[in-house]
Structures are given as structure tokens and as C-alpha cells.
Copies of this chain bind each other. A is one copy, B any other.
Amino acid sequence: MAGRPKIYDEEKALDSAIEVFWKKGYENASAGDLLKAMGIGKGSFYLAYKGGKPELFEKSVKRVVDHHLRGFWDILENCPDPVQAIKDFFFLLIDPASPVGQRGCFFGNAVLQIEDKTLKKMAASQLHLIGKAFTDALKRAKKAGTLTSSQSPEVLGLHLLNLWNGIHLTKMVEKDTAKLREILKMNLSLLDSKVKI
């Protein structure tokens, strides 16, 4: 148990790779781009990621789940009013000042960018989990009485995933934030009881 110590920080390097994947897309990110951003050489890279780019992406997915999504999940699971938290979150998503930016959803992008079936499925199942997180939060809200819609949490959770999927792309096309706010208001009003289908 000795050996030359790593000169780089594994998590920081991984985060840099994630940035590249997110910004350029999976297929556009060459090994060279990734190595450069990660600040390591080929020797270190293929030692740490014997599977090359696919393995790096797999680890990136896990890191995005653990790092970027974990906080959001915790809020959904613990906040007093999940419905309000969800609404706030979506409006944050279209705020031009928000750090979320114009990069889209890491997993949604991946599903539409990656040809490799294994990686594509992995990204798709993460998206599905986001839907499940919405659903679970809504179930809790239903019990607590803050979800007043008569629709089932399952259907509403999928609706929110669909809204999530849509808005990430739509906001790249429609720059009028006021209009985006209007459609969010409409879509989120489906969680309220006053809206009868």
C-alpha cells in the first residue's frame, strides 16, 4: 500500500468532465477535450477509467445524481410543502439569472445524444427516477393535504417529469421569459383543486 500519490483530485476531475459532457454533449466530447478539462494525462486517465469515455460517463451520471440531484431530493422529502417547493423549483428553472443556464437536463440530453444502448438506458432510468421523486413528493403532499388536485400523484408526477423534459428544451427556443412563466403557471395549476379536468 504505497505508490506515487495522485497529483489530481478525483472528484474535481470528474466534475470537470461532467461540465464538458453537459456543455458539448456526449458525442462531441472527445477524449482530448475531457483530458484537457480534467487536467490529467492519458496515463492517469486510462488507469482510472479503463473503460474509456463510456466508463467516465457512467461515473459522471452517478456523480450528477449524488451531487446535483441529492440536494433537490432531500428538499422534496423533507420540506413542509412539496407542492410549493416543486412550483418554486420550476420557476427557478426558467429564471435567466439562474445558474441552471441553457445546458438542458444532463440526463435528457444524454438520452437524445447517446447511441450506446447501455448508457442510453442508464440515462433514461435516471429520468424515470426524477419522475418517481415527483410522484413520491406528491404522495406525501396528498397525505398532508397540500396537494388538492383530484388526479393521482402517479399521473401528476409523470406530468411534472414531462414538464421538466419540455421546459428544458422550450427555454432554449423561446426567450420570452414572461411567456415561459405563463405556461409554467398553467401547467403547475394542474396540481390545484380549483382546476377540474
Contact = CB atoms under 8 A, between A and B. Distances in A.
A113 B28 CA distance: 8
Nearest to A23: B115
A194 B163 CA distance: 22
Task: Give the bracket for the number of chain A residues in contact with chain B.
Answer: 35 or more
A185 B173 contact: no
Given A131-B173, A173-B128, A195-B195, A115 B159 contact: no
B158 A170 contact: yes
Interface string A167-197: 1011011100001101101110110001111
A25 B112 contact: yes
Interface stretch (A42-50, A65-73, A103-111, A136-144): A103-111
Given A25-B115, A186-B155, A186-B190, A170 B179 contact: no
Contacts of A151: 186
Given A155-B183, A162-B163, A195-B195, 14 more contacts: A25-B112, A28-B115, A104-B112, A108-B112, A111-B172, A124-B173, A128-B174, A155-B179, A158-B170, A161-B174, A164-B166, A169-B169, A186-B197, A187-B187
26 contacts: A24-B115, A25-B113, A25-B115, A27-B27, A108-B112, A109-B112, A111-B173, A124-B173, A127-B169, A154-B179, A155-B183, A158-B182, A162-B163, A162-B166, A162-B170, A162-B183, A165-B165, A165-B170, A166-B166, A185-B197, A186-B190, A187-B187, A187-B190, A189-B197, A194-B196, A196-B196
